Amino acid sequence: MEPIQLGSLELWPFGLCAAGGALAALLWACFRTRNADERRAVEVFALIALPLGFGLARLIHCLCNLDWIQDYFWETVLEFPGGGFLFYGALLGMIPALWAACRITRTSFAKMADLLAAPLLLFAAATVIGEGLAGAGYGWKVEDWFNPENSMSLAALEDASFFTRFPFAMTDPVYHYASWAVYLLIAAELLVCTALTAFDRPGRPGGTAVKALALYSAIRILYESLRQDDILKWGFVRVNQIFGGATLLVLTVLCGAAAARNADGKRISGRVTLSAVLFLLGLVLAGGMEFALEGKIGFLEWMTMDVCYTFTTLGCALLFASCEVLRRPAFGKER
C-alpha cells in the first residue's frame, strides 16, 4: 500500500498501525490500573519502552539479516521508513523498561507484567495488520493452492474465485494475483488471545504475562511457517521461528523451576515429564514440517502442504501446552 501524503509528510501503513496499536495499548493499560502508582508505572514504562523497544526492534532485525549485515548494516540501520522491525527485539526493550518503571514507582514487576499482557497482545495484533497493509504477511497463490497439478492441497477446485477475495486473500498490486491473507488469520488469533488474556485470573502474579508470551510465540511460529513473502531467514529456517521456540523453551524452564518451589516435588515430577514430552513432540512436528515443506525429507514427499501445515499447527499447540502444564502449578495457588 502506498504511503499517505500529508503535505511533505509521508505516513506509511505499518507505521500508522504500529503507532495506533501502541496508543490503544497504552490507553487500555491505563484503564486497567487499580491505583495511582500503577498508572504512573504505565506512564514511566511507556516513556522508556517506546524509544528503547522501537530502536531494538530495528537493530535486532538488522543484526539478524545475515545477507547484508557486513556490507550494508551502517547504511540501512537508521532507514526506518524502509521497514524491517522484529517484535522480539521490541520485547527486549520492553522488559528492562518495565523493570525500571517498577523500580522507580515501587510497584510489583510481576503484577505490572500481568496488567500489560493483554494490551501488548493487542499491540502485536496491530503490527501484524500493519504488515498486511504494507504488502507482507501473505501465503501461497490461491489458484496454485487448489491446482491438482501442484500437489499443494487435498482439495482441488476448478474455480477458486470465491477464495480470491477479502478476507481470504490479498491481491498483488503489480501482478494482480491473489495470495492467502495469512496476516488476517494471525491477527484474528492474536485478538482472540488478547480477549482470553484480559480475563485470565492466575493465582500468583506473573502467570498471565507468561501465558500471553507463550501464546504469542506459538502463534508466531505458525505465522512464519505460513508466510511466503520476503522474511528473515537463516538458510530456509525463519528467524522468528527460532526466537519463538527459544522463548517457549525459556518460559517452560522458568515455569518448571517456579512449580518446583511452589508444589510438592513428587507431584510436579509427572508434570515436568509430560512437559518435556510435549515440547519434544511439538519441536519435532513444527520443525520437521519445515523440512518437509522444503522437500528435504524424502519419505514425507507424499504429504501435501495443507497436511504439513496441519501438523505444524498441532506442533505449535503442543509447544504452548508444554509451557501451560507447568505454568498452572507455578502460578495457580494464591489469589
Reported as a single tens digit per residue, the pLDDT across 89-142 is 999 999 999 999 999 999 999 999 999 999 999 999 999 999 888 888 999 999
Give the model's pLDDT for residue 335.
44
Side chain identity, residue 189: E
Predicted local distance difference test score (pLDDT) of residue 248: 97
169 φ, ψ (degrees, to nearest 5): -135, 165
Q: Beta strands of 146-270 (E only): which ranges?
A: 169-171, 178-180, 233-234, 237-238
Considering the chain, what is the average pLDDT of its residues?
Answer: 86
In the structure grid, which three cell numbers stand for residue 189, read together?
Answer: 488469533
What pLDDT, on a 0 to 100 scale, did the predictor assign at position 292? 85
Residue 218: its pLDDT value, please? 97
For residue 49, CA distances in Å to 18, 53, 110, 328 come to 14, 5, 17, 29
Using DSSP, state whether 305 is helix, strand or coil.
helix
Helix or strand run (H / E) with residue 11: strand 9-11
> In which residue ranges of the chain is pLDDT below 50?
335
> 267, 307 in Cβ contact below 8 A?
no
Cβ count within 10 A of residue 253: 14
Contact 252, 275 (CB under 8 A): yes
**Angle at CA of residue 286, ends 281 and 291, nearest 5°:** 120
